Amino acid sequence: MAKEFDVIIIGAGPGGIFCAYELMEKRPDLKVLMIEKGRSIEKRNCPKRVTKTCAGCKPCSITTGFAGAGAFSDGKLSLSPDVGGTLPDILGYDEATKLIHESDEIYLKFGADTSVYGVDKEVELREIRRKAINANLKLVECPIRHLGTEEGYKIYSRLQEHILSKGVTIEFNTMVKDILVENGIATGVLTDKGETYLAKEIVSAVGREGADWFKDKCEEIGIETKPGTVDVGVRVEVRDEVMQFLNENLYEAKLIYHTPTFDDKVRTFCTNPSGEVATEYYEGGLAVVNGHAYKGKEFKTNNTNFALLVSKNFTKPFKTPIEYGKKIAELSNMLCGGKILVQTYGDFKRGRRTTEERLCRNNLIPTLKDAVPGDLSLVFPHRIMVDLDEMIQALDKVTPGIASDETLLYGVEVKFYSNKVIVNKDFETSIKGLRAIGDGAGVTRGLQQASANGLSVARSIIGNMK
């Protein structure tokens, strides 16, 4: 027998969490159901953190579960609408700014650090900006609040406890098998456990890990989409000393470059001072690289890591950006036995494979211990190789040492948010009653805008119920 709710939220990442939070704050009488394929946050334990070897958990505790991939990310909140998604395009700049501020206040309420990087540093910012301009790089000035991996986990734990206490029902370890549609209107969902849940309002907040799943659902039920951007690249690791000035004054320097050879956009992303490079596993065991940084001094390393992502937009007949990114990652996995490939920049620019022997004599010690020395030219198309090389040379003019032979490049980093769902200002799709938010819909690209998106869609739902 079908169970009825007022709102069903698919996915318990930041978008889904903040949607549920706002619904219960404004309408505590509502019956709200969250369905999450992963585990509750206290049960999200990754064996690799102890054994250093992936156990192939299904679903992966790093990318799925309450708080999504954000629970174990570095936890950086970008406090500017200019970074992290397309909310300003959909809602307007002023409204997006307001929502980001409001979601930030909620993070503070649940224990986020009050410190903000990138403010009150005008002299230092002028110097960084000057160097960036000289290198033809654009510096995107964005205040950053750093949660930290372990502190972010605690904050999301409190949020889980809070929304449960408010009466939200959460079904963990449950996959949505089908979104039910009648006469162009979403009516409910069917789970892999055979349960049917009905609601007049359904929110897809599946995050990056669920982007591929949602793409398939869009095709099945006729949701309008358009090809999104493919972001693929490497994670760079250097000594902290190389990035010290940027780290101390910005924490995360967001720099954008349009390469001279191909005029492709390359950007820095997710900087982790004194952090460590990590592996993320997606459905089917696909291994991609990421990075973390902890707040506690006992977890600090001597290295900084950050991503370099090449953004590619394709035209018809191409319509599978997620598959394109996966194929590149699969090729890297194939060469490395399912692990992450690492190459020194010296070998990268000379077109030769990094060997165990050369890696061992490198002064820079990799923080990802099971990375396999290899050759990125066997993975990336020539165009992406050139883009990455030209970006590294440009960055070296801003923070000298980036283009050192000893700099480490890990591959492949891919962001699976390329399913661009067409939505209106209330985030409703072409299927009435079905709203799509967050990274999995191609609307946002980070924790803060996803959280703000959750607040926005909750208010749209409440407004629609009046």
Mean pLDDT, residues 380-404 taken together: 98
Q: SS3 for 133?
A: helix
Query: What pLDDT shows up at residue 312?
Result: 85
**Residue carrying structure tokens 């169970």:** 3
Residue 378 CB neighbours (<10 A):
12
Band of pLDDT at residue 323, cut at 50, 70 and 90? confident
What are the sequence ranges of the domains in the chain?
3-112+147-226+420-465, 122-144+229-415
| Residue 466 pLDDT greater than 90, yes or no | no
Distance set, CA 16 to CA 10, 19, 286, 297 (Å): 7, 5, 25, 32
- For 436-462, b where at least 16 C-beta lie within 10 A, e where not — what string? bbbbbbbbbbbbbbbbbbbbbbbbbbb
Residues 6+ apart with CB under 8 A from 133: none
- The average pLDDT across 90-107 equals 97
Q: Please indicate whether residue 208 or residue 267 has the higher confidence score (pLDDT).
A: 267
Query: What is the pLDDT confidence band of residue 314, given thresholds at 50, 70 and 90?
Result: confident
Q: Per residue in 22-50, pLDDT tens? A: 999 999 999 999 999 999 999 988 776 66
pLDDT band at 52 (very low <50, low <70, confident <90, very high): low
For residue 411, pLDDT beyond 60: yes
pTM of the model: 0.81
Judge whether residue 280 has pLDDT over 80.
Answer: yes
Model confidence at 377, pLDDT cuts 50, 70, 90, reads: very high
Q: What is the pLDDT of residue 45?
A: 82
Instruction: Tell me the two tokens of residue 286.
Output: 């696909």
Residue with tokens 């992450």: 340
Residue 393 is given by DSSP the state H
Out of 3.30.70.270, 3.30.470.20, 3.40.50.720, 3.50.50.60, the CATH code matching 3-112+147-226+420-465 is 3.50.50.60
pLDDT per position as a tens digit, 106-153: 999 999 999 988 878 889 999 999 999 999 999 998 888 988 877 888
Name the percent of the chain lying above pLDDT 70.
97
| Res. 418: pLDDT tops 60 | no
The crossing angle, in degrees rounded to 10, of helices 382-398 and 122-134 is 140
- Tokens 């101390």, located at residue: 248
pLDDT of residue 445: 86
d(C-alpha 131, C-alpha 119), whole Å: 19
Cα dihedral 33→39→40→45 (10° resolution): -170
DSSP E strand stretches across 240-302: 254-258, 265-272, 276-282, 286-292
Quote the pLDDT of residue 200.
96
Confidence of residue 427 (pLDDT cuts 50, 70, 90): very high
Of 334 and 84, the structure prediction assigns the larger pLDDT to: 334
Residues 80, 141: contact at Cβ < 8 Å? yes
List the single range of 81-95, 169-183, 219-233, 394-408 with lowest mean pLDDT.
Answer: 219-233
Question: Under a CB-based contact definition with an 8 Å cutoff, are residues 296 and 315 in contact?
Answer: no
Range with the lowest mean pLDDT among 13-22, 70-79, 298-307, 442-451?
70-79
CB atoms within 10 A of CB 311: 16
Q: In the predicted model, what is the mean pLDDT of residues 56-84?
A: 83
The rounded distance, in Å, linking the Cα atoms of 325 and 205 is: 21
